[in-house]
Structure 1
Amino acid sequence: MARVTRIKLGSQGLEVSTQGLGCMGMSAFYGPPKPETDMIALVHHAVRSGVTFLDTSDSYGPFTNEILLGKALQGGMREKVELATKFGISYADGKREIRGDPAYVRAACEASLKRLGIDCIDLYYQHRIDTRVPIEVTMGELKKLVEEGKIKYIGLSEASASTIRRAHAVHPITAVQLEWSLWTRDVEEDIIPTCRELGIGIVAYSPLGRGFFSAGPKMANSLSDQDFRKSMPRFQPENLEQNAVIFERVNEMAKRKGCTPSQLALAWVHHQGSDVCPIPGTTKIENFNQNIGALSVKLTPEEMAELESYASTDSVKGDRYSSSVSTWKDSETPPLSSWKGE
């Protein structure tokens, strides 16, 4: 198995494994929750393999993924990992709402600490940006939580470049989590350069295109009704036929390289720079081991360019989310001067 090294994520002192583990699919969104004992065994296997950067959120379940990780981290495991979780997507009264007001930030943090069974969260992200609350107000409360020792480092997820700049001016942002893969590259224009200018680490979620670069177009036929990918634009029949061509080209190159298409796609993300940490998710130990194998795949600049030519912006069909899901494209917040306090 490839050796997992360490990287400095951002410029505030956080050090993590070069590849992380996205834990969402263990509990939510990708079909029914998986057996708890199997998932705990997977987490333990990941940590023993050197993958110590674990990613969750209070919205995964909601809450059940944090509870799962809390159980997995008992018995001395907590000290071996860098634990990231998120707040900002509320499901109160069965309604989904994006919240960034100070009272909610604090209550969400306290609740996550309790579910995870820990005293301090290593990296705490705002999962989605509340466009009603100036980002400076949300950051002000997060800064207090740092000062109180409840969180070590602050992150943002799905934030625009201007939101990142405004947040970073209040308290240094350690990492920005965003979707980045061969077929999702619009963040390269503005957000990635902004992170690099400010010394902010980049955490790439869905680096395998929501599993597309692992299983190919046939995965769309095997998704359960509880799997939210079933409704995603890129997996619809009218887009899938075109996107299948991308997979076939990646697959052909993988055969030439002596690796799997998923390892090739993941290696492409790893080659973006030493400030990038992809967090592929999985629920199977054999898939986890395969993902680790991506660290051994070396790509030349010519091979990187060849891969990128397969999945150019105009060749990928369908948006990454349906129009009802908030993303960095709608993450602008009001000016601080407009805040009356709530």
Structure 2
Amino acid sequence: MGTRTLGSTGPTVSALGLGLMGMSDMYGPADEAESIATVRAALDAGVTLLDTGDFYGMGHNEMLLREALKGRARDQAVISVKFGALRDPGGAWAGFDARPAAVKTFLAYSLRRLGTDHVDIYRPARLDPAVPIEDTIGAIAELVQAGHVRHIGLSEVGAETIRRAAAVHPIADLQIEYSLLSRGVEREILPATRELGIGVTAYGVLSRGLLGGHWSPRRELGARDFRATSPRFSDGNLRRNLDLAERLRAVAAAKGVTVAQLAIAWVADRGKDIVPLIGARRRDRLAESLAAEFIKLTPGDLTAIEQAVPDGAAAGDRYALAQMRSLDSEA
């Protein structure tokens, strides 16, 4: 697998990364043994960037990653961890905490669960409206100086916050949703990251399955599946979004690839400063997604893709209203 460097100060990582969230949370039950096998298959394929969060399954995801990395050299993986989201014993969301003392406490627990002495990229999952970003980044910078963190990242913040954070300490990358159905990053955020020499790790490249090519409108979602409350999966919106996916499938078929591979390749083609995160939970889906690295898009391909899924064509917001209001990136 090829590599890309996250910004001007970040690490060199695989051209595609693996997002582990769905192995513990948000998308319904997952097979733990298959999840671990999928992480190991990704490593064997040359994937180095592994993205997790301390609140994914309330620590389960980090412990799963620790198990998957057993017997591997620590430097084979670039571990990216998000922190700050609070949850209650039932799994409900309970706010966000990015105070300096909380930052250091969260990391201490993550290091223990991961079984490592350092995290490669550490980032607040959201902007804490009660804490200046300068305070949060300053606390992580102290952890960098102490050797517990290698690089600092951001997640789902807007251009102004990115600039304020970068004034405190170099930022390796911004993690943000970016796909054919979610292109808001192109307007102000991507120009800011490029001006400042900050990379982008793009999650949701398959729009949580809408562009995966395997979604059925008859599929039933459990109460603990995020998509059950996602506006893009509501009845009317779902049909319209799946129509877009079918239009993309026609373009993919003409090129001899799958719709998922084409959607991933499109994100990767947006710039060498962008690393798509694949959310596969199974080895077969991982293999399909990783093949996207070898797809070369021609100007004609890009035109056909744009015609099939124009900017702004998605039906529904990417999160429910309350969550949208909490996103600094959507302010």
User: TM bucket by the smaller chain?
Assistant: over 0.9
User: How far off is 1:169 after superposition?
Assistant: 0.2
Aligned residues: 327
Take 1:170 and 1:191, find their aligned partners in 2: how far apart are those partners?
Answer: 18
Aligned residue in 2 for 1:65: 61
In structure 2, stretches of 5+ residues that fail to align are none
Take 2:96 and 2:252, find their aligned partners in 1: how far apart are those partners?
Answer: 40
Take 2:242 and 2:214, find their aligned partners in 1: how far apart are those partners?
Answer: 7
TM-score, normalized by length of structure 2? 0.95
Contact 2:4 2:14 (C-alpha < 8 Å) held by counterparts:
yes
Aligned with residue 111 of structure 2, among 106, 113, 129: 113
TM-score, normalized by length of structure 1? 0.92
Contact 2:177 2:202 (C-alpha < 8 Å) held by counterparts:
yes
Take 2:330 and 2:99, find their aligned partners in 1: how far apart are those partners?
Answer: 18
Aligned residue in 1 for 2:50: 54
Take 1:275 and 1:249, find their aligned partners in 2: how far apart are those partners?
Answer: 28
Letter of the 2:4 partner, please give it: I
Contact 1:216 1:244 (C-alpha < 8 Å) held by counterparts:
no
1:240 aligns with 2:211: no
Three-state SS of the structure 1 residue aligned to 2:190 is helix
- The verdict on how the C-alpha distance between 1:77 and 1:39 changes in structure 2, with shifts beyond 3 A counting, is farther
Aligned residue in 1 for 2:32: 36
- The verdict on how the C-alpha distance between 1:308 and 1:138 changes in structure 2, with shifts beyond 3 A counting, is same
Take 2:288 and 2:179, find their aligned partners in 1: how far apart are those partners?
Answer: 17
Take 1:13 and 1:96, find their aligned partners in 2: how far apart are those partners?
Answer: 32
Contact 2:125 2:154 (C-alpha < 8 Å) held by counterparts:
yes
Contact 1:6 1:18 (C-alpha < 8 Å) held by counterparts:
yes
Taking every aligned residue pair, what percent have the same amino acid on both sides? 42
User: How far off is 1:215 after superposition?
Assistant: 3.1
Aligned with residue 218 of structure 1, among 216, 219, 233: 216
Take 2:118 and 2:203, find their aligned partners in 1: how far apart are those partners?
Answer: 23
1:328 aligns with 2:324: no
User: How far off is 1:154 after superposition?
Assistant: 0.2
- The verdict on how the C-alpha distance between 1:302 and 1:38 changes in structure 2, with shifts beyond 3 A counting, is same
Three-state SS of the structure 2 residue aligned to 1:129 is coil
Contact 1:217 1:247 (C-alpha < 8 Å) held by counterparts:
no
Three-state SS of the structure 1 residue aligned to 2:211 is helix
Farther off after superposition, 75-84 or 204-213: 75-84
Aligned with residue 190 of structure 1, among 184, 188, 193: 188
Take 1:304 and 1:57, find their aligned partners in 2: how far apart are those partners?
Answer: 33
Take 2:13 and 2:191, find their aligned partners in 1: how far apart are those partners?
Answer: 21
- The verdict on how the C-alpha distance between 1:191 and 1:174 changes in structure 2, with shifts beyond 3 A counting, is same
Matches within 5 A, 1:133-152: 133-152=131-150
Aligned residue in 1 for 2:8: 11
- The verdict on how the C-alpha distance between 1:216 and 1:39 changes in structure 2, with shifts beyond 3 A counting, is closer
Three-state SS of the structure 2 residue aligned to 1:123 is strand
Contact 1:250 1:261 (C-alpha < 8 Å) held by counterparts:
yes
Contact 2:213 2:249 (C-alpha < 8 Å) held by counterparts:
no
Contact 1:220 1:235 (C-alpha < 8 Å) held by counterparts:
no
Aligned with residue 205 of structure 2, among 200, 207, 221: 207
Take 2:220 and 2:213, find their aligned partners in 1: how far apart are those partners?
Answer: 10
Farther off after superposition, 304-313 or 67-76: 304-313
Aligned residue in 2 for 1:318: 316
Three-state SS of the structure 2 residue aligned to 1:262 is helix
Three-state SS of the structure 2 residue aligned to 1:210 is helix
Letter of the 2:301 partner, please give it: E
